[in-house]
Amino acid sequence: MLLLACGQRDKPNSAMKKTIAIRTELGDSLTSMALDYWVDMISQQSESLPLEVCKIESTEYIQNLQKRSKVKIKRTSDRIRNTSNHPDSLERYMIDLYKDLAKMQKPLPPKILLDRSGRIHYFKPISMNHECLSCHGQVRIDVDSTMQKRILDKYPNDQALGYFEGSIGGIWSLLWTDKVYQATPN
Ligand code: HEC
Ligand 1 close to Cβ of residue 75 (< 6 A): yes
Output the pLDDT for position 181.
Answer: 77
Mean pLDDT calculated for residue range 45-52: 80
Output the pLDDT for position 45.
Answer: 75
Binned at pLDDT 50, 70 and 90, residue 99 comes out as: very high
Residue 173: how many CA atoms within 13 Å on its side-chain side? 21
Q: Is 70 left (phi over 0), alpha (psi -120 to 50) or beta?
A: left
Q: Strands 120-127 and 71-76, how do they pair? A: unpaired
- 26 C-alpha to center of ligand 1: Å? 23
Q: Is the pLDDT of residue 15 over 90?
A: no
Residue ranges of E strands in 90-150: 111-114, 120-127
- In this structure, which residue's CA is closest to atom 1 in ligand 1? 51
Output the pLDDT for position 2.
Answer: 52
Helix axes 14-44, 60-69, angle to 10 degrees: 170
Q: Read off the pLDDT of residues 105-161 as tens digits, 9 standing for 90 and up.
A: 999 999 999 998 889 999 999 999 999 999 999 999 999 999 999 999 999 999 999
Q: Is the pLDDT of residue 26 over 70?
A: yes
Q: Read off the pLDDT of residues 54-67 as tens digits, 9 standing for 90 and up.
A: 988 888 988 998 99
Ligand 1 close to Cβ of residue 39 (< 6 A): yes
Ligand 1 close to Cβ of residue 66 (< 6 A): no
Ligand 1 close to Cβ of residue 132 (< 6 A): yes
| Residue pair 19/104 in contact by the 8 Å Cβ criterion | no
Ligand 1 close to Cβ of residue 80 (< 6 A): yes
Question: 3 phi and psi, to 5 degrees?
Answer: -105, 125
Bridge partners, residue 40, by sequence: none
Percent of the chain with pLDDT over 90: 67
Q: Nearest to residue 174, comparing CAs of 102, 113, 93? A: 113
Residue 149: how many CA atoms within 13 Å on its side-chain side? 4
